[in-house]
Amino acid sequence: MSRNKTVLVCVTGQRDCDRLIRVGKRISDERRIPLQVLCVQPTSAGFDTDGEELDYLRETARDAGAEMTVYFNDDAPLMAVGVAKQIGAVHIVTGMAEAPVNGFVEVLHRFLPLIPISMVGKDGKIYNICPAKKDEQAAKDLILQSGS
């Protein structure tokens, strides 16, 4: 993974995370920057990880022209923050938190407040967290582009 401007898509290893990769691909194409897919599994998942699901997501990422990296770590949000910094992420795509909320997006936003985060619901609707007022026009453009 190199440090360039990149769109980072964070997936959980569930098959329906393919929608996140598709949204990330659209954003990366619009911005003409690379796409990177990240999956952080808990260390306890090790042998219980569904290889078919990860293979499907890896294939979906490859079809989108992206590399998918899988890490085993018990602190997924902080691992994602570290990867985002390492690869120079300028936009992050993730799923919508369901109940109970796990704090993943909140941690990303706290540590990376200048990076827009697009959360994709199961219905495909995109919700955005945009940087502070400093980038207000860019935030408005982002909302218009995502159709929200």
What CATH number is given to the structural domain containing 101? Answer: 3.40.50.620
| Domain presence at residue 58 | yes
- Residue 54 in contact with residue 25, Cβ under 8 Å? no
Which tokens hold the place of 75? 């602190």
Range of the domain at 39: 6-146
pLDDT reported for residue 4: 77
pTM, full prediction: 0.84
Residue-wise pLDDT tens for the chain (148 aa)? 445 799 999 999 899 999 999 999 999 999 999 999 999 998 886 666 668 899 999 999 999 999 999 999 999 999 999 999 999 999 999 998 775 567 899 999 999 999 999 999 999 999 998 876 555 555 556 555 655 4
Please give the C-alpha separations between residue 33 and each of 16, 24, 66, in angstroms, as whole numbers.
24, 11, 11
1 belongs to a structural domain: no
pLDDT of residue 148: 45
Q: Is 77 contained in some domain? A: yes
Q: Cα–chain-centroid distance for residue 41?
A: 14
- Kindly report the backbone phi and psi dihedral angles of residue 123, in degrees, each rounded to the nearest multiple of 5, phi listed first: -85, 0
Is 139 a domain residue?
yes
Structural domain count of the chain: 1
Instruction: Answer yes or no: is 67 within a domain.
Output: yes
